[in-house]
């Protein structure tokens, strides 16, 4: 079931991690999904940098790509994508890291205002 903190790994290169930072169980099924991508220093999103020490699913320093977040009523489509093997469910980051990602999203310049309205309370 897709819920706040659901973590996914793309099964296609470059195997990004994705994280649900909204609570679809309390907001009518609305999902905010952010991608976690390699921090090579050139990515425009610099609001939240995570390391393998923050989340054991990361292999190197990574940034939360707020500017490319997807949001809307996507619970069923995400569940279908998992069933079809496009994503693998992985362990979620700690509650503290999840709160950090949500808090940074509230002020991230690249995140769409509509997505910001759907963020879970941190």
Domain ranges of the chain: 7-116
Instruction: Note the pLDDT of residue 111.
Output: 96
Expressed in angstroms, the distance from the first to the final Cα of the chain is 21
Helices (H), the chain: 75-83, 95-107, 113-116
Write the DSSP symbol of residue 22: B
How confident is the model at residue 121, as a pLDDT?
Answer: 84
So what's the pLDDT on residue 81? 95
Say which CATH class 7-116 falls into: mainly beta
DSSP 119: B
Mean pLDDT by 10 residues, the chain (122 residues): 96 95 95 95 93 96 97 94 97 97 96 96 73
Looking at residue 122, what is its pLDDT?
Answer: 62
Q: Which residues contact 16 (CB under 8 A, 6 or more apart)?
A: 9, 10, 35, 36, 37
pLDDT at 92: 97
- Is residue 34 within 8 A of residue 110, CB to CB? The reply is no
At residue 41, the pLDDT reads 87
Do the Cβ atoms of 19 and 36 come closer than 8 Å? yes
Burial of 104 (0-12, 13-18, 19+ CB in 10 A): buried
pLDDT of 43: 87
């Amino acid at each position: 079931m897709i819920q706040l903190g659901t973590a996914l790994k793309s099964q296609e290169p470059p195997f990004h991690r994705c994280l649900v930072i909204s609570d679809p169980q309390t907001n009518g099924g609305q999902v905010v999904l952010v991608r976690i991508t390699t921090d090579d220093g050139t990515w425009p999103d610099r609001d939240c940098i995570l390391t393998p020490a923050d989340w054991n699913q990361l292999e190197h320093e990574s940034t939360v790509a707020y500017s490319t977040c997807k949001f809307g009523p996507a619970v069923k489509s995400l569940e279908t994508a998992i069933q079809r093997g496009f994503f693998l469910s992985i362990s979620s980051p700690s509650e503290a890291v999840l709160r950090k990602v949500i808090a940074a999203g509230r002020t991230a310049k690249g995140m769409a205002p509509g997505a910001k309205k759907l963020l879970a309370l941190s």
